[in-house]
Amino acid sequence: MSDKPIILVTNDDGLNAKGIKALVAMVKGFGDIYVVAPNRSNSGKSNSITVEVPIRIKKVRDEENLHIYSCKGTPVDCVKLALNKILPRTPDFLVSGINHGANTSVSVLYSGTMGATIEGCLNGIPSIGYSLNDFSADADFSQSIKYGRKIFANLIEKGLERSVCLNVNFPKGDINGIRVCRQADGRWKEEFDHRQDPFGGDYYWLTGYFKNAEPNAEETDEWAINNGYASVVPTKIDMTAHQLVEDLKTWDYEVED
């Protein structure tokens, strides 16, 4: 077995997306690369797992230092299967993306790209999710590759605290530099597109736009990508609002029999 670092590569746009090819190019030369990615788009799949149907995996091909597998599951399924059934040992690093579309602010909660990244983190693997603020299938990832590689090289050199992963977002076009940020406050505002099928049945398409609650906050990821910077947000698994634990102890919990 090779003693090179093992790098697990996955995404949520599927194995044929341009973004995952860019990601392989980004980490090339840093170790043995295993790509285990969904066979089709899994956008918006968050941390979801497949529990009610079985999952299939298929080896696509081997090249030098590059092994590619296709998986009929979610991004998190891909990571779990890679760790348990595909890789020769626990990987040294996980990278996910490069997503076609930004995953700033609360999109971290819906994102399959970040779902896979968080799954790597849960398993103690230093993990980075990368996204580019451009939904187009033919997006230009050349700048993302250059800046993303620099962040990855830092991760290799400096490591990362357990239970924390990185959420990296690139602006469209030229990049002015890299900023470490916090997640912006905001939310998606839905606009359902209501239609009727030929048989009179109603159905709805989920559409909408992101509403930033603090567009001028320069320390946020949203501000960064809207001003030409790549954003790096340290992202943690623990969702406890620790500052409220003591407050909530003052509620009345006496239950009568």
Annotated binding site for a divalent metal cation: 12-13, 43, 99
- Closer by beta carbon to a second copy, 1 or else 51: 51
- Closer by beta carbon to a second copy, 50 or else 65: 50
> Minimum distance between the CB of residue 88 and a second copy, rounded to whole angstroms?
16
> Minimum distance between the CB of residue 27 and a second copy, rounded to whole angstroms?
16
Are the beta carbons of 237 and 166 closer than 8 angstroms? no
* Residue 89 interacting with a second copy (CB under 8 A): no
* Residue 209 interacting with a second copy (CB under 8 A): no
| AA identity, residue 158 | K
Q: Is the peptide bond before 98 cis (omega within 30 degrees of 0)?
A: yes
* Residue 228 interacting with a second copy (CB under 8 A): no
* Residue 50 interacting with a second copy (CB under 8 A): yes
Among 20, 33, 108, 224, binds a second copy (CB under 8 A): 108
> Minimum distance between the CB of residue 13 and a second copy, rounded to whole angstroms?
12
The CA distance from 233 to 215, in Å, is 17
The window from 21-29, 88-96, 125-133, 161-169 that contacts a second copy (CB under 8 A) reads 161-169
User: How many residues make contact with a second copy (CB under 8 A)?
Assistant: 83
Q: Are strands 186-190 and 208-212 parallel, antiparallel or unpaired?
A: antiparallel
3-state secondary structure of 57: strand
Report the binding-site residues: 12-13, 43, 99
Among 56, 88, 136, 215, binds a second copy (CB under 8 A): 56
Among 1, 138, 194, 209, binds a second copy (CB under 8 A): 194
The CA distance from 129 to 21, in Å, is 14
Q: Which of 63, 195, 44 is nearest to 113 (CA)?
A: 44
* Residue 106 interacting with a second copy (CB under 8 A): yes
> Minimum distance between the CB of residue 224 and a second copy, rounded to whole angstroms?
12
- What are the structure tokens assigned to 34, written together? 């295993």
3-state secondary structure of 103: coil
The window from 17-25, 36-44, 88-96, 126-134 that contacts a second copy (CB under 8 A) reads 36-44
Tell me the CA distances in angstroms from 75 to 2, 38, 48, 115, one per residue in order: 26, 6, 8, 7
**What is the rounded (10 degree) CA torsion for 18, 21, 25, 29?**
170
- Burial class, 21, CB count within 10 angstroms (exposed 0-12 / middle 13-18 / buried 19+): middle
The window from 14-22, 62-70, 92-100, 197-205 that contacts a second copy (CB under 8 A) reads 197-205
Are the beta carbons of 102 and 139 closer than 8 angstroms? no
Among 139, 181, 224, 225, binds a second copy (CB under 8 A): 181
* Residue 202 interacting with a second copy (CB under 8 A): yes
